[in-house]
Amino acid sequence: MNFRSDNEAPVNTTIMQAIVAANSGFDESYGYDSYTNKLQQEMQKLFGCWCEVVPLTTGTAANSLAMALTTPAYGSLLCYESAHMMTDECGAPEFYSGGAKLIGIGGDEGKINTGSLDNYLAGVGVHGEHECLVSAISITQSTEAGTLYSLQELRQIKSIKEKYGLLLHMDGSRIANAIASLGCTVAEVTWKSGVDLLSFGATKNGAMMAEALIIFNPKIAKEIKRMRKRAGQLISKMRFVSAQLLAYLKDDLWLQLATHANQQAQLLLHALKSSHEFIYPVQANEVFLRLSPKAIRQLQKQGFEFHVWPGSHDIIRLVFSHATQSKHVVELIEALKKPL
Ligand SMILES: Cc1ncc(COP(=O)(O)O)c(C=O)c1O
């Protein structure tokens, strides 16, 4: 019973069928195919605005291209101190941007603290040309801690970005889980909240390998095509990535899959909230739970798979996906309720 990662979940059947259906005959290569054209239109409908849609194969590529588009080589981008970009992308964002700097800002529950962000920015500039030019902020929605930025928090970040004339990137590797949970539109959470570009993830929520960088700000969209090529992300048979994203959006499949994943997390929360320590509020599809090392070993012996959080011996991360079966969550709850 796998609660280790949504990356380990299978591909959703409808999306798999869409790949197979796209596999008939010839179509243009390098993004000039009918699927990618249609995707451009569908995303514009979804967001209700102009946007440039750039299909990609990994979230790391989306985040790294976002950094390259927003931050010059002599610049810096501010993100949460343990954001995925900071800790799990092997320096790719800095590499793509030609050496720009990532700067971590502290906070709680996986989110940048807006007071710390404002304080940091207020102190910028005293070293003149000796310091990197702060160019952008990146936030993750839903966060690496399974929490969410509320619309009010997003408004605060928007006003900070505007105060200092910065660009705003959102790592939406799990944006579907955020939208399904917040119950507002994806437009409200992104461009209406000042987001200039979004890494729109689908792989973790049912696609095989399909992400897209969605650029809302035409000023930064100009050079994306050459940058994508230089990043090795100009996919010749792009139709198979776009076909996944089209199936993902059709009839709100993306929200249905994310709702299912979120509901599994809520099932666990409601069954155990009075008996167990949840490290962060459970707002999307990831749960961090404190357990004794003995209880952790016991669960592992019973075949439950999850990560013991690096650097800790008593915190586990459970990830629920579109493919998580409720009966397995119930089994997990029962195992957790048993006295040791
Ligand atoms: C929040 C977040 N952003 C980005 C990524 C990167 O995605 P990929 O592994 O496809 O490069 C991940 C992957 O787990 C992630 O959790």
Q: Which of 135, 132, 112 is nearest to 66 (CA)?
A: 135
Task: Please give the Cα distance from 60 to 51 (Å, whole number).
Answer: 20
Ligand 1 atom index nearest CA of 5: 14
123 burial type by CB count under 10 A (0-12 exposed, 13-18 middle, 19+ buried): exposed
Helices (H) and strands (E) in the chain, counts: 15, 13
Protein residue whose Cα sits closest to atom 4 of ligand 1: 59
* 126 or 138: which leads in pLDDT: 138
Same domain, 93 and 162: yes
Domain stops at, among 222, 252, 282: 252
- pLDDT given at position 133: 97
Residues 129, 29: one domain?
A: yes
Domain membership of residue 7 (yes or no) is no
Structure tokens at 49: 């605005």
> Which of 40-49, 125-134, 172-181 has the weakest average pLDDT?
125-134
Does 234 fall in a domain? yes
Residue from 220, 222, 225 nearest 32 by CA = 225
Ligand 1 nearest atom to the CA of residue 209, by list position: 10
Look at residue 65 and tell me whether its pLDDT is greater than 70: yes
Is 326 within a domain? Answer: yes
Looking at the structure, tell me whether residues 244 and 267 fall in a common domain.
no
> With left for phi above 0 and alpha for psi between -120 and 50, is residue 323 left, alpha or beta?
alpha
Q: Are residues 248 and 259 in the same domain?
A: no
Phi-psi region of 48 (alpha: psi -120 to 50; beta: other; left: phi over 0): left
Whether 68 is covered by a domain: the verdict is yes
Region at 302 (left for phi over 0; alpha for psi -120 to 50; beta for the rest): alpha
Cα distance between residue 60 and residue 64, in whole Å: 6
**Of 203, 144, 192, 132, whose CA–CA distance to 168 is shortest?**
192
**Distance of alpha carbon 75 from alpha carbon 252, whole angstroms:** 38
Residue 201 shares a structural domain with residue 94: yes
Query: Same structural domain for residues 308 and 185?
Result: no
Q: 263 and 321 share a domain?
A: yes
Q: Is the pLDDT of residue 108 over 70?
A: yes
Tell me: do 210 and 305 sit in the same domain. Answer: no
pLDDT at position 273 is 97
Prediction pTM value: 0.98
How far apart are the C-alpha atoms of 105 and 136, rounded to whole Å?
13
Ligand 1 atom nearest to CA at 174: 1
Which of 170, 173, 174 to mutate to test ligand 1, by most ligand atoms within 8 A of the CB atom? Answer: 173
- Same domain membership, residue 331 and residue 210: no
Mutate to test the pocket of ligand 1, among 84, 95, 140 (most ligand atoms within 8 A of CB): 84
CA–CA distances in Å: residue 314 to residues 25, 172, 265, 283, 319: 54, 28, 19, 21, 17
Whether residue 3 is contained in a domain is answered as no
Q: In which band, very low, low, confident or very high, does the pLDDT at 340 lie, cut at 50, 70 and 90?
A: low
- Examine the domain organization and report whether 111 and 217 are in the same domain: yes
Instruction: Tell me which of 209, 235, 252 is where a domain ends.
Output: 252
DSSP per position, 163-174? HTT-EEEEEETT
Residue 240 placed within a domain: yes
- What pLDDT, on the 0 to 100 scale, is given for residue 274? 96
Tell me the percentage of the chain whose pLDDT exceeds 70.
100
Residues 87 and 158 in one domain: yes
Rounded to the nearest 10 degrees, the angle between the axes of helix 253-272 and helix 326-337 is 20
**Nearest one of 234, 226, 235, 223 to 69, comparing CA atoms:** 223
CATH number of the domain that 143 lies in? Answer: 3.40.640.10
Mark whether 263 and 223 lie in a shared domain: no
Confidence check: pLDDT of 45 > 90: yes
The conformation of residue 2, written as its DSSP 8-state character, comes to: B
Q: Is the pLDDT of residue 339 over 90?
A: no
User: Domain range for residue 273?
Assistant: 255-337
Of 191, 223, 252, the last residue of a domain is 252
Q: How many domains does one find in the chain?
A: 2
Residues 6+ apart with CB under 8 A from 317: 286, 287, 288, 306, 307, 309
The answer to whether the CB of 64 falls within 8 A of the CB of 121 is no
Strands 52-56, 211-215: parallel, antiparallel or unpaired by DSSP? Answer: antiparallel
Report the 10 Å Cβ neighbour count for 158: 16
Residue 336 CA, chain-centre distance (Å), reads 29
Residue 73 domain flag = yes
Residues with CB under 6 A from ligand 1: 7, 58-60, 63, 84, 140, 144, 171, 173, 203
The domain that holds 332 is classified in CATH as 3.90.1150.10
Mind listing the pLDDT tens digit for each residue in 135-167? 999 999 999 999 999 999 999 999 999 999 999
Give tens-digit pLDDT for 268-320.
999 999 999 999 999 999 999 999 999 999 999 999 999 999 989 999 999 99
Please give the pLDDT value at position 130: 95
In a domain, 173, yes or no: yes
Cβ atoms < 10 Å from Cβ of 129: 7
